[in-house]
């Protein structure tokens, strides 16, 4: 059986292509092009993480991709899957499979995923594979097809023409993880309709070849990364898992309008100590040749990515031969490249500090006018966390230089030192921290380590009568025909209480307590009756003078032990799954009309962009079980969570009650 049908209904295809007459025949060239690529189109759903507010925040995203290898490699965008911790792909035949991130490249906004063919319904059936075409052969006016999953819906196809083969983002505004994508990429502009979710999907020519990877929308045009660049990047990602590029510390710009040179690019700046500086290049030089290849006169920003690629794609550590002109004199330079660092190394959460941090790059150190990059950069802080609570407090962008006298030249060192200090500790440890803020050196003390559970002091038990009341105001007493009477009216009788068994009912008016008038006649005296009851000993029997309709009654009610307020109930902050919960109290049971023997814990708060929020858990849910284990109390919840963390189980299935219904929720933490 063929799992990947190689035909599409003509009417459906016509509708997908937005043709005016869906019953008309589709252009055979278009139909053939669709059939060549469409079966290899995949829909991608990811769970991703990014640093913010002192923690790694989670989110969901969707995009598109194309199977480009019989081995199951998929090409998509970095901004779709480059930060993914969970990846699911849906094939054109609706098979849904897990995928892994092979490698990603923020500068080109490309990423490669891989599915395990053993997970297919029939692993023996070959995967459909799309082929690359030559993007350099494209011309304005060529018909192209944009394929993808707009807004996460099923795979779709739209038709358009090439509008621009050298499109760039205005002002270099396209930035990903600190990288300016326009530094390297000139997009193929086209008017085939695309929406968010099309990202990563193929732009296809009428030969049924990938000639671009859809990435952005600028105005009314879509922008696709040229296939020649995408193929080169994807090959390197598949081979090594990353892309290595050369760097010489030189920026270039278009020639000045006053320069009528026939070739070359203007050197705008050279960083001190960089390879270009060591080779003798200076701002104002005009570079005309690179390794013997002439540089066409750069007259506009669209020309700069071409020159950048010449330099960036040179093998790392190799020597570049540059020729050019300085003040009318011919010049030549030999520049030995070094490896280009990522603009923003990946951040990591340090829970004990309440921060996310990353390495400081050499380039960032130069921008800070520092002599070296031996520091860890604070990327974000959690309000109220250890670092933010220090005095003086640490701020975003500060550089952590040493902790407890131990240097922290990079993020790995900061993590190691922190783990050594907090290992085995049950309470925060005050440590001396050396850090840099706005170029100035500071010292502070940060209390890092686990935040202990707050033990609530024991609350003395008080007498309780098992009812809720409202004050009988003067207006209410007049309306009820008991002018100038004081007291309270019963608004609720708690189920199973001695008050109910004694015969008290909702609507009863309580006028006297043990023969004394209940002195409550104004709304602000709502706690008077409860205060009087609390002055009795538990177990005492009180006599109530009751008005029920036109009948006066005397009712004796034994007093019970007062139930706990919500502030007195056991609670727990689950930091790993990012939600808070507490035991159910009497008020919860009454308000939700739960049986007296109902067991569970109440979810009281959800951390925004956390694992619980991502899975759909909500404040107000009653958690009944986790992975099949009944969660009857906070103490059981702690035990279950400890076991889940120890075994790093994922996904975790929660069974909750929400309102009058119940549901299952899956959390997929990365432990």
Distance, in Å, from the CA atom of 212 to the CA atom of 227, rounded to the nearest integer, reads 5
* Strands 286-290 and 399-403, sheet pairing: unpaired
- Residue 181 in contact with residue 168, Cβ under 8 Å? no
- Residue 409 in contact with residue 402, Cβ under 8 Å? no
Distance, in Å, from the CA atom of 201 to the CA atom of 223, rounded to the nearest integer, reads 11
Collapsed DSSP state (helix, strand, coil) of residue 254? coil
Catalytic pick among 109, 177, 359, 583: 109
**Annotation marks residue 190 as catalytic:** no
Which residues lie below 8 Å from residue 545, measured CB to CB, with a gap of 6+? 510, 511, 512, 513, 515, 552, 553, 554
Distance, in Å, from the CA atom of 232 to the CA atom of 234, rounded to the nearest integer, reads 6
User: Rg (Cα) of the chain, in Å, rounded?
Assistant: 35
**Annotation marks residue 438 as catalytic:** no
CB atoms within 10 A of CB 47: 20
**Annotation marks residue 199 as catalytic:** yes
The H-or-E segment that residue 228 falls in is helix 227-240
Catalytic pick among 40, 64, 135, 199: 199
Paired with 480 in beta bridges are none
* DSSP states along 312-366: HTSPTTPEEEEEEEETTEEEEEEEE-EEPPPSSPPPEEETTTTEEEEEPPHHHHH
Which residues lie below 8 Å from residue 179, measured CB to CB, with a gap of 6+? 106, 107, 342, 343, 344
Burial 227-264 (b: 16+ CB within 10 A, else e): bbbbbbbbebbbeeeebebbbbbbebbbbeeeeebebb
Catalytic pick among 79, 190, 494, 563: 79
Instruction: Give catalytic residue positions.
Output: 79, 109, 199
């Amino acid at each position: 059986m063929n799992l990947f049908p190689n035909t599409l209904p003509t009417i459906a295809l016509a509708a997908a292509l937005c043709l005016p007459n869906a019953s008309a025949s589709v252009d055979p060239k278009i139909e053939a092009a669709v059939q060549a690529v469409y079966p290899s189109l995949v829909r991608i759903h990811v769970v991703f993480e990014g640093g913010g507010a002192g923690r790694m925040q989670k989110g969901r995203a969707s995009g598109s991709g194309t199977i480009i290898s019989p081995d199951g490699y998929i090409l998509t965008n970095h901004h779709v899957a480059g930060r993914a911790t969970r990846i699911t792909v849906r094939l054109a035949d609706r098979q849904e499979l897990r995928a892994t991130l092979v490698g990603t490249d923020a500068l080109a906004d490309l990423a490669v995923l891989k599915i395990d063919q053993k997970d297919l319904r029939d692993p023996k059936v070959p995967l459909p594979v799309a082929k690359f075409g030559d993007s350099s052969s494209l011309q304005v006016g060529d018909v192209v097809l944009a394929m993808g999953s707009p807004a996460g819906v099923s795979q779709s196809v739209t038709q358009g023409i090439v509008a621009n083969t050298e499109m760039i983002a205005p002002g270099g505004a396209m930035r990903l993880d600190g990288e300016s994508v326009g530094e390297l990429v000139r997009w193929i502009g086209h008017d085939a309709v695309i929406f968010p979710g099309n990202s990563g999907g193929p732009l296809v020519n009428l030969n049924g070849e990938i000639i671009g990877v859809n990435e952005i929308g600028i105005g009314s045009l879509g922008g696709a990364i040229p296939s020649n660049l995408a193929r080169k990047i994807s090959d390197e990602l598949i081979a090594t898992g990353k892309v290595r590029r050369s760097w010489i510390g030189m920026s270039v710009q278009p020639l000045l309008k006053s320069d009528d040179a026939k070739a070359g690019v203007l050197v705008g700046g050279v960083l001190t100590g960089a390879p270009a500086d060591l080779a003798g290049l200076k701002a104002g030089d005009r570079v005309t040749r690179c390794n013997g290849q002439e540089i066409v006169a750069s007259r506009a920003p669209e020309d700069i990515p071409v020159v950048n690629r010449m330099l960036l794609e040179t093998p790392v550590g190799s020597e570049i031969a540059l020729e050019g002109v300085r003040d009318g004199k011919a010049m030549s330079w030999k520049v030995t490249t070094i490896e280009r660092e990522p603009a923003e190394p990946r951040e990591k959460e340090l829970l004990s500090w309440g921060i996310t941090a990353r390495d400081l790059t050499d380039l960032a150190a130069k921008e800070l006018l520092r002599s070296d990059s031996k520091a860890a950069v604070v990327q974000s802080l959690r309000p109220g966390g250890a670092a933010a609570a220090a005095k003086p407090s640490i701020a975003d962008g500060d550089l952590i230089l040493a902790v407890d006298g131990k240097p922290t030249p990079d993020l790995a060192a900061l993590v190691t030192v922190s783990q050594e200090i907090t290992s085995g500790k049950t309470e925060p440890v005050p440590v001396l921290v050396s850090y840099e803020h706005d170029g100035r050196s500071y010292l502070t003390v940060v209390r890092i380590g686990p935040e202990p559970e707050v033990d609530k002091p024991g609350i003395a038990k008080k007498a309780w009568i098992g009812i809720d009341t409202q004050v009988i105001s003067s207006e209410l007493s007049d309306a009820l025909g008991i002018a100038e009477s004081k007291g309270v009216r019963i608004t609720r009788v708690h189920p199973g209480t001695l008050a109910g068994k004694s015969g008290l009912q909702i609507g009863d008016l309580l006028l006297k307590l043990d023969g004394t008038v209940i002195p409550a006649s104004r709304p602000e005296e709502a706690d008077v009756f409860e205060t009087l009851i609390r002055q009795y000993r538990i177990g005492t029997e009180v006599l109530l003078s009751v008005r029920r309709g036109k009948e006066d009654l005397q009712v004796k009610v034994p007093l019970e032990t007062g139930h706990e307020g919500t502030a007195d109930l056991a609670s727990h902050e689950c930091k790993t799954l990012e939600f808070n919960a507490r035991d159910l109290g009497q008020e919860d049971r009454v308000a939700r009309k739960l049986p007296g023997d109902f067991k569970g814990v109440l979810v009281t708060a959800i951390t925004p962009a956390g694992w619980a929020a991502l899975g759909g858990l909500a404040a107000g849910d009653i958690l009944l079980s986790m992975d099949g284990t009944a969660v009857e109390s906070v103490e059981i919840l702690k035990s279950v969570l400890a076991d889940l963390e120890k075994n790093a189980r994922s996904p975790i299935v929660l069974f909750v009650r929400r309102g009058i219904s119940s549901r299952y929720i899956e959390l997929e933490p990365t432990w």
